[in-house]
Structure formats: C-alpha cells, structure tokens
Amino acid sequence: MLDHLEKILIDEEKLIKRVKELGAQITEDYKDKDLFIIVILKGAVMFASDLIKEIKLPLAIDFMAVSSYGASTKSSGVVRIMKDLEEQIEGKDVLIVEDIVDTGLTLNYLFENLLSRKPRSLKVCCCLDKPSRRKAPVNVDYVGFNIPDEFVIGYGLDYAEKYRNLPFIGVLSKEAYAK
C-alpha cells in the first residue's frame, strides 16, 4: 500500500498534537453554546472522531455526505449531496467538520445550503487547507494545517476510496493516478 506514497507530509504525532489544540480552542469558543457538529463523510471521519474526543462540552453530531471528486484527483466543481442531515439545525451553533478545503466550491455550496436552514451560528473546522487552489470564497474558522498543492491521502483522505486508513497525511505519487 505504501508503494504509491511519495512522502509523509504530516506525521501522526503532529496530527494528534494539532487536533488536541483545535479541540481546546473549540471547547473555549463554544462554552455555554448549543454545539452541533456536522461531520462531512467520508473523509472527515477520522479527523472528526479524534477532534470530538478533545472537545470537552456536551455536543450533538450528525453526518452529511457531499461529493465533487468521484475517482479523480481534481474537484469537478459539481456538488452533490449524497446524504443529508437527519436532525434540524435551526437555532443551533453549528460547526462543519471537513477533511480538506481545496477549491472551496464544495464548502461554499454546503455553507450556503446550511445557512438557509437558519442555524444560530455556522462555522467551519478543517484538518487541511489548500488556499492556493481556492476558486470560491470561503471562511475557515479552525484550520489544522495549511498544505501545498499536492494530492494528499491518509487520515481519512482517499484516492479512489483507498488509503483512508493511513495514520498520517501523505502525498500520493503521480504514478498512482497518472494511468
């Protein structure tokens, strides 16, 4: 499985440390609020699972699945909601937990969609941010790491549904997807 790994970008130790820091900051920012976390499937599951353990507050969780990649290494720009929320978010303090913000097209669409549901507040936390690829304006309130424009895998991130189980963030070699 590691044959297609070009390099490790963020090791497991750095991930754990940063997730603890984010959890502490979110705990402080949301004390005395009605925190509702929306985990974006599938990529954010590992990050969200670790992050939620570090948030020392009562909170509720729901899941959404959105797609703009498919089996590609580039966002198509066409966003589809594959799974919607089961809970209402009106009047709640909502935090979207996302794996990576790339072009911003998916997050921009998702943010507008969720804003129309009248939450009290709506913020975004992402594990990885790739600001150099931004095509749509998005505000990310909590960022784990800013990364360069490379195709990353691991810690929930995939290429064609593989590599999600790596405990670190790695760069996929071009040979793996240039077929």
**Could you give the residue ranges of the DSSP H alpha helices within 41-126?**
45-54, 105-115
Give which of 56, 171, 42, 149 is closest to 97, Cα–Cα.
42
DSSP designation for 90:
T
pLDDT score, position 70: 52
Give which of 102, 18, 23 is closest to 66, Cα–Cα.
102
Interval 4-40: pLDDT, tens: 899 999 999 999 999 999 999 999 999 999 999 999 9
Beta-carbon count within 10 A of 90 CB: 10
pLDDT score, position 79: 80
Beta-carbon count within 10 A of 99 CB: 26
pLDDT score, position 3: 79
Among 50, 93, 99, 102, the one annotated catalytic: 102
Domains and CATH numbers, the chain: 12-153 (3.40.50.2020)
Placement of tokens 């784990």 in the chain: 144
pTM beyond 0.95: the answer is no
For the question of residue 102 being annotated catalytic, the response is yes
Task: From residue 42, give the alpha-carbon distance in Å to each of 30, 76, 123.
Answer: 25, 17, 19
pLDDT score, position 160: 85
Q: Which residues of the chain have pLDDT under 50?
A: none
pLDDT score, position 100: 95
pLDDT score, position 36: 98
